[in-house]
Amino acid sequence: MQNERVPRALVGYHWGVTLLTLGSVLNVILMLVHLGSHPVEMAISNGLLAVFVVDYFVRLIITKERKTFLIQSAFDLLGIIPLHPVFAFFRLARLARLIRFHHVFWRLGLDGKWTKAYHRFIYQTGFIYLFSISVAIIVVSAFLFSLTEKQNLANSLWWAVTTATTVGYGDETPHTAFGKIIASVLMFGGIGFIGLLTSTITGFITNRTEKAVTPQDTQEQADVRELLAKIDTLTGKVDQLQEQVERLDRKSPKR
């Protein structure tokens, strides 16, 4: 697999995606720490958002396995949500897939255990599905809350996150009947999926810890059993030697 040649055009495309992703993340960081001109940074953010939106739907159209694409590109979809520029951080998952695609760890002489653990955690545990559903519930609730409560999208997203995580600071609360219905749905649905998400992460870490500890314990137990067997053998030889000494004492003439 590692020896397959990747077309230069595809390599160039991946380099472009990498640079745009890192640029979009850096731009968001500058916005969060209030460095530079905010209007310029917002224009850059919106421009990059448009590029990634077009890229996502073009890949969706040309792919033959749309179901697989939607699953594996769930973070890409989250990265083009226009609620807040901070969603650009989800685009970093694209870089992780590119690193795995080009076998970067293998080329650097690493064994690739990190990429296997990453793939196992994201897909085999169902984390990607629970995370996507949780984010979808939060985003949809924030959007509906923004419409009904006449709040901006940033404040609505903050309200949805604090409500779904049961923090509930109370700085943003629904006042309309429809807003309270949205909050109730978010409380039941969001909390349930976030609870499943947390248990999935905990279960994965626990299993990894058990697998890391069990071989060591097994080896220690084997060492103890081997040591006890050697002690038993040595004890038997000592007993035999003692019997031989006693026989020699009985046979030797008494003075």
Q: What contacts 24+ positions apart, CB below 8 Å, involve 142-145?
A: 142/83, 143/83, 144/178, 144/182, 145/174, 145/179, 145/182, 145/183
Mean pLDDT across the stretch 171-185?
89
21: confidence class by pLDDT, cuts 50, 70, 90: very high
pLDDT for the residue numbered 59: 94
pLDDT for the residue numbered 214: 53
Other beta carbons within 10 angstroms of residue 210's beta carbon come to 10
Nearest partner of 93 among 80, 83, 105, judged by Cα: 80
Domain ranges of the chain: 1-109, 125-241
The pLDDT of residue 22 is above 80: yes
pLDDT for the residue numbered 157: 87
pTM of the model: 0.63
Give yes or no for a contact between 179 and 145, defined as CB atoms under 8 angstroms apart.
Answer: yes
Distance between CA atoms of 177 and 55, rounded to whole angstroms?
39
Mean pLDDT across the stretch 92-120?
74
Distance between CA atoms of 240 and 166, rounded to whole angstroms?
73
Instruction: Indicate the fold that domain 125-241 takes in CATH.
Output: Helix Hairpins (1.10.287)
Share of the chain above pLDDT 90, in %: 21
Of 31-35, 196-200, 211-215, least confident by mean pLDDT is 211-215
